[in-house]
Structure 1
């Protein structure tokens, strides 16, 4: 279906209040910050992270995923001091505020940083302290999701789940599962998710990105997912999609990421419209802006320009993001009221409804 033309004076997508539920810690780094820190630390960046940025990726085969992971690891290597973590969180929150996001849930695997920050617990405490500083400085609420790596042993995931539970009242709001879903079944991590879920943390595993609907089904049935990272392949199984709708499992759909990793050829091939019309809750996400070159507002722009979402439908997408979040009740109310106000206004702001955003 061809999207209708966007009015010359459309409502500003920056002004639309929203929550951002799918953002990875390292991948949230500004490109300019990566280049600056790499120069300071003597880290050589490949052309894909400098002249050819954002990189052309195709992670649908092992070699492509290895390249994606290598670039990610290089980016992680420039964060060496506690001040770097604090800077990353502050800049991420500033970028969220600039794009109209008032609540952020950022996902981190502390094991990737533990060796340089004194262990798993000190790393989590550093990240949580940095989020509190960023909240105070920007007014953006931030929750942390501790994520296990599905390429590692399930016992490692249980360790992280217990760590997440220990900090559940101090800023950790959920437990996730990321990395290459072809190398670790969700089924194997049921014990870790049971630990987290019993303590009231949201279950937010990745699934249905590089593998088909069976991967999503395991997340829904075995891990009792509240949200699914990506989950777009659920569209291939009508019964599974019906279950997702019935259980109100939010799909964290990241169109630019799906294109960037080669999951689909173009943004038009991401089944956002089909999922939405089926009744699935959708929270648009940027995933890893550092590697895909776009942030949250761009995903809403795609919804308007590529998928043909009306302003009323864009407002509903924003509501999905808020309702699927762990934001406190008062924050949810404020955001939902703001979305209603955005839709009620008859005075659009700015050309094409989108203002310049930070790099």
Structure 2
């Protein structure tokens, strides 16, 4: 059929939710559906902050700006309130199952979900029971849904480095149960990366890869610290590396993947608008990226939406979106057969 201009109508853009991809930056509590938080709060009689209830009810993300410590505290308060609704093993199972369902809807074929089990230990019987409940839920969900899933255990940089060492030893102990990496999260402005070097050495020696947060709330120096002090294999966020050409070259040369979360960056005030997130700059510098949703519960968008941001606000072509998906798959801990299947799926998406 000819268009009104006399030519053939352009092909519609390919659906990014059908593009096979890996999801490498998703936090545990932050993966919950808003309806789940509200239902669990009602079940346990938890009084949520009004700002959180309003956001979950309206579907509009709460107004957040974490570029100063007061703003970060407010974000953390909302996050902690949501986490307080997770009290029983069945709640953990529900969260993991729903996170997997959302990822499958967005085209994910592999999910590495990030969790600090110490945050759930008080209500789940202790640190070891908490991690075992989480790993059991991941194993069951992966088997039932067909989505490849593993766990990245993350320490909290707001806590003492000795706590991180304990967590690293625990993570190594459960490597054969689905733990594949060790991370470091929370406010980068607190706790120097080098203070956690021993914890990361324990994790590396135990066969886990290193994926600490850096380059989100602070600049390129925090990314360099992740590389120099923690021997990072991937960097959680890492987007501020775009401010330093030499650092970008280093990341590109070593093919160290940055887990970039565009919607999160805007929601927390790291950048004012989606078009300000330097996706194009990083991509053209050869820095591998794995787009992630971070905390969709609070930021309002999941995995496919991150690819849509790249398309709508940064003019990424379908071929470039396919390359972003390949980069996420290559950076994952997925077994080789899973990687090859997903990579073939990317080619099929692009040529179909």
- 2:17 is the alignment partner of 1:10: no
Structure 1 distance, partners of 2:96, 2:116, is: 15
* Equivalent runs, 1:288-299 vs 2, <5 Å: 288-299=295-306
Q: Which runs of 4+ in 1 moved over 4 A?
A: none
Residue 280 (structure 1) shift: 0.3
* Conserved? CA contact 1:48–1:54, under 8 Å: no
Alignment correspondent of 1:173: 180
Structure 2 distance, partners of 1:34, 1:156, is: 28
TM-superposition CA deviations, 1:69-120 (whole Å, max 9, x none): 0000000000001100000000000111111101000000011011111211
Q: Which runs of 5+ in 1 are unaligned?
A: 1-6, 346-359
Alignment correspondent of 1:42: 45
Structure 2 distance, partners of 1:127, 1:344, is: 38
RMSD: 0.9
Which of 61, 76, 84 in structure 1 is aligned with 2:83? 76
TM-superposition CA deviations, 1:249-289 (whole Å, max 9, x none): 10000000001111110111100000000000000000000
Residue 133 (structure 1) shift: 1.1
Which of 248, 251, 259 in structure 2 is aligned with 1:252? 259
Which of 32, 35, 45 in structure 2 is aligned with 1:32? 35
Q: Please, which moves more after superposition, 205-214 or 51-60?
A: 51-60
**What is the count of residue pairs matched by the alignment?**
339
Structure 2 distance, partners of 1:57, 1:325, is: 30
- 2:272 is the alignment partner of 1:265: yes
Alignment correspondent of 2:286: 279
Q: TM-score, normalised by structure 1?
A: 0.93
Structure 1 distance, partners of 2:40, 2:332, is: 32
Which of 190, 193, 204 in structure 2 is aligned with 1:186? 193
Q: TM-score, normalised by structure 2?
A: 0.95
* Conserved? CA contact 1:38–1:78, under 8 Å: yes
Structure 2 distance, partners of 1:120, 1:331, is: 31
Q: Which runs of 5+ in 2 are unaligned?
A: 1-9
Match of 1:144, SS state, is strand
The answer to which structure, 1 or 2, has the higher relative contact order (CA under 8 A, 6+ apart) is 1
Which of 162, 178, 190 in structure 1 is aligned with 2:169? 162
